[in-house]
Amino acid sequence: MTRTLHLNAFLMNTGHHEASWRLPESDPYAHVDLAHYVKLARIAERGTFDSLFLADGPQLWSNLAQRPAGALEPLTLLTALATATEHIGLIATASTSYNSPYNLARKFASLDIISGGRAGWNIVTTAGAEAARNFGLDAEPAHAERYARAAEFLDVALKLWDSWEDDAIVADKAAGVWGDDAKIHPARHQGTYFSVAGALNVPRSPQGYPLLVQAGSSEDGKAFAARYAEAVFTAQQTLADARSFYTDLKARAERAGRNPDHIKVLPGIVPVIGSTEAEARAAEQALEDHIVHEHGVARLENLLHLEPGTLDLDRELPADLPPESAIEGAKSRYTLVVELARRERLTVRRLIGRLGGGRGHLTFAGTPEQVADVIETWFTQGAADGFNIMPAVLPSGLETFVDQVVPILRFRGLFRTAYGPRRTLRGRYGLPRPANQYLSPAPTLV
Amino acid sequence: MTRTLHLNAFLMNTGHHEASWRLPESDPYAHVDLAHYVKLARIAERGTFDSLFLADGPQLWSNLAQRPAGALEPLTLLTALATATEHIGLIATASTSYNSPYNLARKFASLDIISGGRAGWNIVTTAGAEAARNFGLDAEPAHAERYARAAEFLDVALKLWDSWEDDAIVADKAAGVWGDDAKIHPARHQGTYFSVAGALNVPRSPQGYPLLVQAGSSEDGKAFAARYAEAVFTAQQTLADARSFYTDLKARAERAGRNPDHIKVLPGIVPVIGSTEAEARAAEQALEDHIVHEHGVARLENLLHLEPGTLDLDRELPADLPPESAIEGAKSRYTLVVELARRERLTVRRLIGRLGGGRGHLTFAGTPEQVADVIETWFTQGAADGFNIMPAVLPSGLETFVDQVVPILRFRGLFRTAYGPRRTLRGRYGLPRPANQYLSPAPTLV
């Protein structure tokens, strides 16, 4: 089979540009409007996207003035979207630091059953003290500890998802025997962070377990991805950086004994599309004009761990920023932003403009052909297995992508023209259904 | 307004009778079949029920042989049902012992928004060591401690649900001001069991917060209900017991400073309906004939905290059972079962037969008129504000109730003929939308 491109729609209220909610077309209440998300999901499904995705953090970001805050909880929202769609994969972000494996494993298994095998889990460890303080902690756990807990969380969750053999239900009415207890495997897990004795109270789901997705690009993050992830979202600004990330991650997976084809790398792209280049640039400028710069400065200071009031809008970043190793959360995002500013010698004002749409992801303004060209180049030159599409404005940006870019990708033979016979999310990404670890002599994740 | 009856449909895979799955009509995979639950929800909605309800416990009950085990996680399933229904309330069981307030408050707020104000929470503290061992504990926490944690959990959750004032979203596009931070109230909770600093990341939902439901009938349970619950499910075997429970609970609520009309009491009833009495009895017998008694004995021994092998099918219960005060979980169920057995001098075999359908709830076999008579008597004689309908077999038992009993209740002027103008679950139960505790000078739950 020819290699095919994979597309994920990263949905976020009125769009990924922080000022998108101010446009006349945008609904400032979209973040809590099921109908808005149903519409987005159906547009993505019309575009035969592999999946859609919701980010998440268990805290309310201050400040409310600047842009829509709060959201429907992703697993809840995706369950509602499961009933409104038929084919598209549904990837929810959930934190290993602020959930218990038993509860979370149940929810994903339930969503996988309800959606007919379309559930995916974007595994995050959740940076930041705000979240920690909502869960009984005084401060954010250290980066390495968060990842150690994440790895143990995964091990427990995988045991739980395998705790029913696929044929554990006998359903022998005449004999009065419903299930076979010999085909149930209690987790019997005693670890550093978790102790979980029993079997899951949900039968094994259509996919076995949700597609495992990950987005951390720090050293710990990449090590984790190489071990567990089947799809990786990443923020990359240049083809060269993206290729080196791609090559590195595939090599790490291989060293971990996995098939490198079974870990799909999807950089994020914020396409701003116009029928001419000038039109696309004008749309980008219109968004930038709506940015309230004081908010952008505060956010940038927060990301860079600087005291409020440090940055000057019309100067470059200070020279004496700490190294990535001193940063406890969002390490790779930190480095990416600093490198972008240094490479292009951006003032803080310009940097905020560049980040407004993509928060570090590749922002690209151009015609549908030009957007398709970028995608094709990265896809064919070893930088991507597909893309995480992050429209600056929603729903219009997704609609334009589906109606104008997807046909070009299809015409070029890069992307599917219809959903294939395999109905699960793993099926879309060309991945096998995982074997049950209690049955396979050499348990494997892929 | 005349007092109206309230009806809740307690849904459980193939029905509440433990042998229901063995009937020819039953689907042994119903417990994980969304279509089955959609069908049930729509039948209940056709019957203008106030709500439907799912029980839950975060553990897999052994043994699988005896009957369907495992289930879709209730909040997930109810979210899917929210999109398949328009009017009916959706009550999910969730544990205060094995959840964190921030996560659970988000999920209920999200379901309330997605369903247009139809969410309810059946608050449980979760008895049993099996559940405890899935969440890092060696043994079940003591009954009193579970209830202390539950009370603090509620206090935190109520703070979180009130953390956005209803008009916190300003949506001023021209000024670039989305929300008003002055209308956000961080929880700032530091307690014995929880510490939660921030505000919820979901705006205040249509109902303010989910309808609060409770079902514990122990002393701790009743004290908790009097303080928090807006609807109470209870198992009562006789009119006299039901009246005394009802009177006691209303008086407790009043002593707690609440309007006693704002706590609705709904005893469970397992109706087995036939067009004649003889037909109903035959249906009941057919179910009893499918019981595998060894399973029933094991379950009864577990409930009564007896060593396996203690009970004899053809004798009555032993005389020297411990008092309720010695029981750590499911206290009131314990007493109810023991009293039923003693009152009617039942052998273990007969007791298992009686419990097969209702697990302690009132089982009543009769014609539609007779079932309506029981409901009317309890409703008009101060024993119930409505009923928790627990069909022995699903979907057929619910269908029969809706098609044959509901019309009688409507004809007698006891029950609504259509859903009224208030679309929320509290609206169905005749309860007001709660005020925001940060705005009301005397915060009140009702």
A23, A111, A198 member nearest B76 (Cβ): A111
Q: Which of residues 397-426 of B touch A (CB under 8 A)?
A: none
Residue B98 contacts A, CB cutoff 8 Å: yes
pLDDT value at residue B442: 47
> Hey, which residues does B388 pair with through a beta bridge?
B8, B268
DSSP strand pairing (B386-389 vs B264-273): parallel
pLDDT value at residue B166: 96
Tell me whether residues B102 and A32 touch, CB distance under 8 A.
no
Token readout for B280 is 């109903």
Q: For B304-315, how does the pLDDT look when each residue is reduced to its tens digit (9 = 90+)?
A: 889 998 999 999
pLDDT value at residue A316: 94
Confidence label for B443 from pLDDT (cuts 50, 70 and 90) = very low
Peptide bond into A134 cis (omega under 30): no
Residue B119 makes CB contacts below 8 A (sequence gap 6+) with: B78, B89, B90, B91, B92, B108, B111, B112, B205, B207, B210, B211, B425
| Largest distance between two CA atoms of chain A | 80
A198-207, A381-390, A436-445, B255-264: least confident range: A436-445
3-class secondary structure, A344: coil
Domain count, chain A: 1
A71, A180, A201 member nearest B71 (Cβ): A201
Lookup result for tokens 């015609």: A367
Mean pLDDT, residues B317-324 taken together: 86
pLDDT value at residue A445: 42
Q: Is residue B10 part of a domain?
A: yes
Q: Is residue A117 part of a domain?
A: yes
Residue A32 contacts B, CB cutoff 8 Å: yes
> Distance between CA A154 and CA A232 in Å, rounded?
16
Statement: residue B155 has pLDDT above 90? yes
| Whole-complex ipTM | 0.93
Tell me whether residues B130 and A198 touch, CB distance under 8 A.
yes
Tell me whether residues A201 and B133 touch, CB distance under 8 A.
no
**How buried is A138 (Cβ within 10 angstroms: 0-12 exposed, 13-18 middle, 19+ buried)?**
exposed
Tell me whether residues B34 and A84 touch, CB distance under 8 A.
no
3-class secondary structure, B101: helix
Q: What share of chain A is helix, strand, coil (3-state, %, to 5)?
A: 40, 15, 45
pLDDT value at residue B63: 81
Residue B100 contacts A, CB cutoff 8 Å: yes
Token readout for B368 is 């539609």
Statement: residue B335 has pLDDT above 90? no
**Contact B235/B217 with Cβ under 8 angstroms?**
yes
Statement: residue A443 has pLDDT above 50? no
Q: Give the range of the structural domain holding residue A70, as residue numbers without chain letter.
A: 6-271+361-428
A246-281 exposure pattern, b = at least 16 Cβ within 10 A, e = fewer: beebbebbeeeebebebbbbbbbbbbbbbeeeeebe
Binding site annotation covers A218?
yes
**Residue B302: closest CA among B345, B347, B355:** B355
Lookup result for tokens 């940076």: A127
Rg (CA), chain B: 22
Residue B361 makes CB contacts below 8 A (sequence gap 6+) with: B16, B235, B267, B268, B269, B270, B388, B390
pLDDT value at residue B171: 96
Closest approach of B59 to chain A, Cα-based (Å): 6
What are phi and psi for residue A131, nearest 5 degrees? -65, -45
B60, B66, B106 member nearest A199 (Cβ): B60
Residue B251 contacts A, CB cutoff 8 Å: no
Q: Is residue B186 part of a domain?
A: no
Mean pLDDT, residues B113-127 taken together: 97
Residue A139 contacts B, CB cutoff 8 Å: no
A140-149, A306-315, A326-335, B48-57: least confident range: A326-335
Statement: residue B368 has pLDDT above 80? yes
**Residue B77: closest CA among B30, B25, B45:** B30
Residues of A in contact with B164 (CB under 8 A): 70
pLDDT value at residue B358: 67
Please list the alpha-helical segments (H only) found in B84-142. 101-114, 129-132
> Distance between CA B118 and CA B45 in Å, rounded?
13
Q: Is residue B299 part of a domain?
A: no
Statement: residue A415 has pLDDT above 60? yes
3-class secondary structure, A372: helix
3-class secondary structure, B195: strand
C-beta atoms surrounding B276 within 10 Å: 10
- H/E/C letters for each residue in A94-146? EECCCCCHHHHHHHHHHHHHHCCCCEEEEEECCCCHHHHHCCCCCCCCCHHHH
Binding site annotation covers A295?
no
Tell me B212's DSSP state. Answer: E
Residue A290 contacts B, CB cutoff 8 Å: yes
Q: For A123-181, how does the pLDDT look when each residue is reduced to its tens digit (9 = 90+)?
A: 999 989 999 999 999 999 999 999 999 999 999 999 999 999 999 999 999 999 999 99
Q: Which helix (H) or strand (E) holds A252?
A: helix A239-255
Residue B171 makes CB contacts below 8 A (sequence gap 6+) with: A21, A28, A29, B178
C-beta atoms surrounding B281 within 10 Å: 14
Residues of B in contact with A29 (CB under 8 A): 169, 171
Closest approach of B164 to chain A, Cα-based (Å): 10
Q: Domain of B268: which CATH number?
A: 3.20.20.30
Confidence label for B446 from pLDDT (cuts 50, 70 and 90) = very low
Mean pLDDT, residues A368-381 taken together: 98
| Largest distance between two CA atoms of chain B | 80
Closest approach of B200 to chain A, Cα-based (Å): 6
Residue B149 makes CB contacts below 8 A (sequence gap 6+) with: B96, B97, B125, B141, B192, B193
Closest approach of A435 to chain B, Cα-based (Å): 21
Residue B35 contacts A, CB cutoff 8 Å: no
Q: How many helical (H) and strand (E) elements, i.e. helices and strands, does chain B have?
A: 15, 13
> Distance between CA B51 and CA B118 in Å, rounded?
8
Lookup result for tokens 């009686």: B354
Binding site annotation covers A275?
no
A156-170, A238-252, A332-346, B351-365: least confident range: B351-365
Token readout for B353 is 């037969």
Confidence label for A71 from pLDDT (cuts 50, 70 and 90) = very high
Confidence label for B441 from pLDDT (cuts 50, 70 and 90) = low
Q: Is residue B277 part of a domain?
A: no
**Contact A104/B98 with Cβ under 8 angstroms?**
no
Tell me whether residues B59 and A198 touch, CB distance under 8 A.
yes
Token readout for A327 is 């940063």
Number of inter-chain CB pairs under 8 A, A vs B: 231
Peptide bond into A63 cis (omega under 30): yes
Rounded to the nearest integer, the mean pLDDT of chain A is 93
Binding site annotation covers B14?
no
**Residue A259: closest CA among A414, A89, A429, A413:** A429
Residue A346 makes CB contacts below 8 A (sequence gap 6+) with: A316, A340, A354
Statement: residue A323 has pLDDT above 70? yes
Tell me whether residues A134 and B194 touch, CB distance under 8 A.
no
Q: Is residue A48 part of a domain?
A: yes
Q: Is residue B406 part of a domain?
A: yes
Confidence label for A101 from pLDDT (cuts 50, 70 and 90) = very high
> Hey, which residues does A52 pair with through a beta bridge?
A9, A90
Q: Is residue A314 part of a domain?
A: no
Residue A158 Cα distances to A282, A322, A384, A435, B336, angstroms: 49, 38, 27, 11, 41
C-beta atoms surrounding A320 within 10 Å: 5
pLDDT value at residue A441: 57
How many CA atoms, within 13 angstroms, populate the side-chain half-sphere of residue A72?
Answer: 31
